Structure 1
């Protein structure tokens, strides 16, 4: 409901105006004030959209009242009501943003016409405001999807092509010269805190998707403070969200790197920093982990050979090889904490390989700190058995046409905000495995394919001269015409306008 305030020192004038308005605009909410001072006070409570302001009133006149009200609530519109059609009044009123004026006396038809125009403007502005809020909400959702996609590609996919650069450009980050990764380990049900965590990180980094208990965060270095001060401050802010459950939260912090291509090393370091969560502080820097013993032989297995055995499902050989390595490290009297770090690094590598093969596993973590090599072997064997079981269950149920289903889903929904996580949930595969399938079977990643689908649809729509480039932008799934034009030219080597001109010339 639009609210309107009539301000006039003559009751007869107020009542007459109210009668005309109620007869012609039945949906209005109308109140009255008999002087400027009362108008100022009533405006604070009533919050009108439009004020019909008499100019000549005793005490505070209309121009003075408008000046005070406009300063406090600049969105309110005014129509001046006066018997003085003089230049000085008009000049002062225009400065205060008056939309129109009504002379006393005026015909009812003139009053209805003047006020009706301003009411129509208010209605249009309300619609535009709702659309702006809707677009802002859509952009915020899109931004979150872009963030998680970028983090997934940088930390897991190892994909660094033009599309990653475009996505980064959409996020409008001022500088990417230095970055580091924090890995937040959350308890069961920790996903409920995701929005609050992302809000804390929003101005200083990108929040990835939650994988099991693990939430990766890429943080941008702030040159105004030291790395450790920045990381410590953010870690404490994040831990403050635990709401008394802090003992189940833990943060690992990797070192600073100078490019997107290197930031995944910081992720691996942050994960290693979460090995031992039984420390006094609930966060740990990778650089604070005890250094590996100097001169000690590398007793761990050949990782390339191990990866091949995992892909072939030779779990017994994998188990035997890891246990043999643990025995060798024990014979060399390697400190337990170092062996645990090295073993967990291998288990994480196995978990990543399984993810690339479409097998979902929780991040391998020791639930308790092993106190000796015997307990370390037992816990390692248990984690291997769990991953083996996940592998067997997944490959027993996998369907041969999964990839075709994914492609068809993208084609059918290319106009929507499709993220790697959306696809993963749709077909119950890991985001990394889907990306790997595209690169192996299609020769491109899923963003390339999604872009191709959108651009092909846009090219088909170009033939409809009734549709503007802006309409086509939204119809094919983009939210910014400038960004759409950039992508379109990247793919077709023509701007949308150039392509449409060429297309219409061919049809002439």
Structure 2
């Protein structure tokens, strides 16, 4: 119900307007008290005390959404100009016909209702976005670190998070210790959200990646040290006293952030350090550096060998690294660092594929090349055993199971983590196979399933559009309408009309 106030120093004018509006417009409550916060005010200009224009200015301070219509016998440009400056919706001259008064008030009421609908739609969209934000954040980090989400989807999700692909950022990798992992994960997400410094990715095993945005006015080392200390304070309560944090270097674009992630992984190679954290830039990585295209080529080869189960090629590549280091006289530290980088690629791929692999680390400091070769071979054998065991467990129609699960649960809020728990695979692996085998992101597949189900439900004339919205997993009819129009090129109502022609 809308509330309308009539402000006029003439009782006859007030009563006349009240009678006209109550008979001409239904649903109005007409009040004459300032404490009632009216939706619409009919205001006279010339009155004893303050003028109508001054009254509007005062009322707008406490009730900025109220609409005003000036009702006056003074037809002067100066009054009209001041009224427009105050945002008055319309201007009525005394005397006006009853039909003219009703028409003007009805027009302003329609404008008021449209604005209310728009504000309510915005409020509901914000609520929906706020509810899905943690899932979006986790999926964005997964896509950025593992490069398994198509660029267009990353762009869309970054827009929802307010992210900038050109913003400088780095990765911190938290290794959970003797703690409850779920509680630790929740504590970290709350802490990072409180600080407003980055995004927390999905937990894989006992590892949690955090994309941290560079802070203006402070050095990278100072920012990293501050955040590490704050997380370590949380760690003592939640993450466990034997947890560890590896920190990668900053990169100028989010599309390069996976390099920082790899560095953060390498920085956690030795989690026995008393400081409980290490920056990659503090590792001893002196010596000949490989070009980035060589590293990408090596990584591509390793991933392909793992996918095909070509374990001997993996072993040969590791032995070649040791041989090359020994030939050029590299230190054992440098050679060991190169080996660990290769092993981390194998480990990361194993985790993506859903294997239950252990983090690669050397159990002792090798004093000879043959010792380093034997230690690296032992770590690689452990990784290969995990990969081989996992390959043997995979169902032949695993992607079909995932698709069926999504189809049967379109009404629910489904995330990568939900699906991963269902089929006992990692979120990263699921994201990867969707892109490789279906050619689309799982979010798009879920959307397609929901839209297909909505089309089917629209064939039932007894179902309202609001009921259909809830049946296909959306909580806001306006948001559902936008998604439907984006996918189908027309609104749900237009589609339904075409069906029943």
Q: Is the 8 A contact 2:269 2:361 kept in 1?
A: yes
Name the CA distance, whole Å, in 2 between partners of 1:169 and 1:273: 31
1:226 to 219, 232, 240: 219
Residues 183 and 216 of structure 1 are in contact (CA less than 8 Å); yes or no, is this contact kept in structure 2? yes
Higher relative contact order (CA 8 A, sep 6+): 2
Q: In the alignment, which residue of structure 1 is the partner of 2:138? A: 148
Aligned CA distance change for structure 1 residues 211 and 374 (closer, same or farther; 3 Å): farther
How far residue 197 of structure 1 moved from its aligned partner, in angstroms, is: 0.9
Structure 1 partner of 2:185:
194
Cα 1:442–1:294 shift into 2, 3 Å = closer
Residue 207 (structure 1) aligned with residue 182 (structure 2): no
SS at match of 1:206: strand
- Return 278-287 or 419-428, whichever deviates more: 278-287
How far apart are 1:273 and its partner, in Å? 2.2
CA drift of 1:237 comes to 0.5
TM-score normalised by L of structure 1: 0.65
User: 2:157 aligned to 147, 167, 189, which one?
Assistant: 167
Deviation at 1:279, TM superposition (A): 4.3
Residues 190 and 213 in structure 1, CA contact (< 8 A), matched pair in contact too: no
Render the CA deviation track for 1:157-188: whole Å, top value 9, x for unaligned.
43233333333344355897232211111214
Do 1:255 and 1:287's aligned partners in 2 also have CA atoms closer than 8 Å?
Answer: yes
Q: Deviations over 1:211-255 (max 9, x none)?
A: 223210111233253333222211111011222787522212222
- For residue 440 of structure 1, what is the aligned residue in structure 2? 436
Gaps of at least 5 residues in structure 1 are 1-89, 96-134
Query: Counterpart of 1:36?
Result: none
1:500 CA drift (Å): 1.5
| 1:258 aligned partner | 252
8 Å Cα contact 2:354-2:425 kept in structure 1: yes
Which residue is equivalent to 2:230? 237
For 1:170 and 1:209, the matched residues in 2 are separated by: 18
Q: 1:480 to 1:507 in 2, by over 3 A?
A: closer
For residues 369 and 247 of structure 1, what CA distance do their matches in structure 2 show? 24
Structure 2 unaligned spans of 5+: 1-31, 38-124
Q: How do 1:458-469 and structure 2 match up within 5 A?
A: 458-463=454-459, 469=465
Comparing 436-445 with 147-156, which one deviates more in the overlay?
436-445
The structural deviation recorded for 1:136 is 10
RMSD: 3.6
- In structure 2, distance between residues paired with 1:466 and 1:168: 39
Q: Which secondary structure does the structure 1 equivalent of 2:254 belong to?
A: coil
How far apart in 1 are the matches of 2:329 and 2:287? 10
Task: Identify which range, 427-436 or 458-467, moves more after superposition.
Answer: 458-467
DSSP 3-state at the match of 1:270: helix
Name the residue aligned to 1:34.
none
Scaled by the length of structure 2, the TM-score of the pair is 0.66
The residue matched to 2:384 in structure 1 has which SS?
Answer: helix
Residues 447 and 91 (structure 1), Cα distance of their counterparts in 2 relative to 1, 3 Å cut: closer
Alignment of 1:283 onto 2:277 = yes
8 Å contact kept, 1:176–1:220: no
Distance change >3 Å, CA 472–CA 315, structure 1 → 2: same
Q: Is 1:403 equivalent to 2:390 in the alignment? A: no
Alignment correspondent of 1:362: 358
Report the counterpart of residue 493 of structure 1 in structure 2: 489
**2:324 aligned with 1:328, yes or no?**
yes
Return the match for 2:453 from 433, 446, 457: 457
Q: Do the aligned partners of 1:254 and 1:266 also contact (CA within 8 Å) in 2?
A: yes
1:261 alignment partner, SS class: helix
Instruction: Give, in whole Å, the separation in 2 of the partners of 1:474 and 1:224.
Output: 47
| Deviation string, structure 1 residues 315-365 (Cα, Å, up to 9, x no partner) | 234224312421331343312332222212211212233345553423323
